[in-house]
Structure 1
Amino acid sequence: MILAGSLYTDRRRAQSGGLCVGLGRRGEQSNLFQGRALPNPANDNLRGSSVRFPVDPRLVPPQKAARRLHLTESDFCAKLSALQRIGFPAACPVTGHYDLQAIDAWLDRRAGLGAAVGVAVNARDVFEERLASLGKH
């Protein structure tokens, strides 16, 4: 976005007889931008973006899932069956995309970080471990 008052708009103003001239959507010159920001070729949206905040997708295509594991897409596809044998989360059956949170949880479990969610624990074993750590067993 090029702001009014910049060197670019000063040159355009001089060429157009003092009006702040920009290019319209179809490439024609327009003086609609007086006192406002001028669109540049990379962003010629006159009304502004309808997206008010960025959205970080949770489900991502295989290319991005591969990048999360620091693999190329071809390496990821070649190693996918081996990854799934050791618990790598499956893709969504509808979209074919992978859940980034599930991938991160899988990586955390593999690295021994955090509590493993959904793993059944024998209460008696936990009790015995606590007693032993307190020196009462």
Structure 2
Amino acid sequence: MAKISPNRMELLKLRRRTKMAQRGHKLLKDKLDELLRRFLLLIKDADVKRSSLEGSLASAFGTLLIAGGEAGTSVMTEALAGAGSKTEVEVGYKRLLNVKTPVFSVSELALSLDYSLATTPSILD
């Protein structure tokens, strides 16, 4: 342990350092609480988006099954082989409470449908 002279000046200096350490600790604790709050909001938002996406995917899969039943697998395979879309994901960074966090933005480019409307069922559109 360091040798500290037991006088009033040293006592006052130690009290100031203790108060400063307590303020710093409280500040870091508040920062952690706020970051956790924002993280939980992001989780809730992701859950809402996931449930919406799962509903849309279930609907699309059901429609695809009906169209496959009407047209047959060979026509559906041929029709959907050329169909596709491109998706781009851009990554940026944003500072939240002086913490660098990633921000993702998704952009979907035009969907190209390269199949004949005469040979495929109308439900596929």
- Rg larger for: 2
TM-score by length of 1: 0.23
Bigger strand fraction:
2
Q: Specify which structure has the bigger relative contact order, considering alpha-carbon pairs within 8 angstroms and separated by 6 or more residues.
A: 2
Bigger helix fraction:
2
